[in-house]
Every structure is written in structure tokens, then in C-alpha cells.
Amino acid sequence: MVVYFRKKMNHIKLKNKARIETWFPTSVYVYENLLSLDYLEDLYKQIIHLSKIYKLKRTTDLEVDSIHTIANLTENSNFNLLKDYLTEHSKIYAFELGYSKDICDRLFVEQIWFNISKKEDFLMKHIHPGSILSGAFYIKSNEEDRIRFYAEKSSILKPTDFNSLSYEYCDYKCNVNSLLLFKSDLYHSTNKANGEKVVVSFNINLK
């Protein structure tokens, strides 16, 4: 059962009694320890098994071995429980973004795929066109692995000290068993992997 709860945004209060009000925020939804360790291990084994069945491909945007253009895993029963969790958290996130309960209830996982990175593999800056929300769930990663999200480009003079009002990008650690959700038009990339990294990626759309 999905429980919806919406909070109000905070303002930044200054010492001179003025305030800075933040608008047009960029957000990333984070949920850690999503699955039991047994199921996480089963998913890893299933992904390795599927990687041997399919001939994984790389593109100019995907400098990793990926099933993205080969198969959609939404109908694979081994991913059913994960798909249920992804749907539930997408509905919660969408409601916090301001979508109506009716819209949230119509969200579903349209596509699931996995990427397997070797040392030095990476993803170039890209978005996921055609969907509403997208995300990544980390099956296996290394301490140095990061995903980077970008703010919209600005052509004005850059500040000397970037802060919460002026950051141009942010990095997240690719922690095992962690879920990241974001709007599909949010540009993101990854650094070069330090070893094997296994990620389940997905897109969320409306029924």
C-alpha cells in the first residue's frame, strides 16, 4: 500500500532579516537497503546468467555492456519483486513532485534493463526521453563509483564559491542495494568504473 505525504519547502533565512526563496529545484529520490541480501544475490546471479544468453551491446552513449537495446526485463519473473518496489517508490516520489494521486496510481515500470561495467567503463551525459521518471538500482559497485547529476546550463559569470544556490552538478555514491529516482529529463553521467559494477536501470511512464 502506498502512503502519500507531501511536505512544504523551506526558505533560507539571512542575518539581515531578508530571506532567499528557492524555486525550480532539481531533486533526486534516494532509498537505501531496498532488498533483502538474499534477493539481491539472486538478482546478481540472474543478471550474470542473462548476460551470457544475450550478446550485450555498447553505444556512443553507453560505454558499458548493456541489455538496454536488446531486451526489456519487465516480464521476467525474477524481477517481479524489484519491479513492485520500483513502482511503489515512483508513486511516492511523483506525489511529492506534485502529481495528483490519480496520475501517481497510473505510473508503471515501462522498461527495465541492466548495465555491467568493467574497469574504466562509463556513461556519457544523457537523459531518458519519452518517460516521466527514471532510476538506477545498484546490485554491485565499488567505493569510488559515482553518478553525476547536472543543473541546467547557465551562461552568466560563475561564482567563486559554489553553494546550494549555485551548484552546477552533484555526485552520488553508487551504493549497493540503493535506489535513486529522478525526472527522466535530468542529465546524468557516471565516472569511470574501478571494477565490475552492475546496475539495474528503468523508466517509469503512465498506463
* Confidence bin at 6 (pLDDT 50/70/90): low
Q: How many Å apart are CA 130 and CA 197, to the nearest integer?
A: 26
Q: Is residue 2 a contact partner of residue 92, using CB atoms and an 8 Å limit? A: yes
Global pTM reads 0.91
AA identity, residue 14: L
Backbone torsion region of residue 41, taken as left when φ is above 0, otherwise alpha when ψ lies between -120 and 50, otherwise beta: alpha
Q: How far apart are the first and last CA of the chain?
A: 19
Backbone torsion region of residue 15, taken as left when φ is above 0, otherwise alpha when ψ lies between -120 and 50, otherwise beta: alpha
AA identity, residue 152: E
User: Could you tell me which of 86, 85, 92, 87 has the C-alpha nearest to residue 27?
Assistant: 92
Write out pLDDT tens, residues 113-147. Answer: 999 999 999 999 999 999 999 999 999 999 999 99
Superfamily, domain 26-151+167-206: q2cbj1_9rhob like domain (2.60.120.620)
What are the boundaries of each domain within the chain?
A: 26-151+167-206
Calculate the average pLDDT of the chain.
92
> How far are the Cα atoms of 46, 58, 73 from residue 67, in angstroms, in the given order?
13, 9, 9
Q: Which residues partner with 197 through β-bridges?
A: 117
Grid cell in block for residue 73: 526485463
In the numeric block, the cell 556512443 is attached to 60
Backbone torsion region of residue 5, taken as left when φ is above 0, otherwise alpha when ψ lies between -120 and 50, otherwise beta: beta
* Confidence bin at 62 (pLDDT 50/70/90): confident
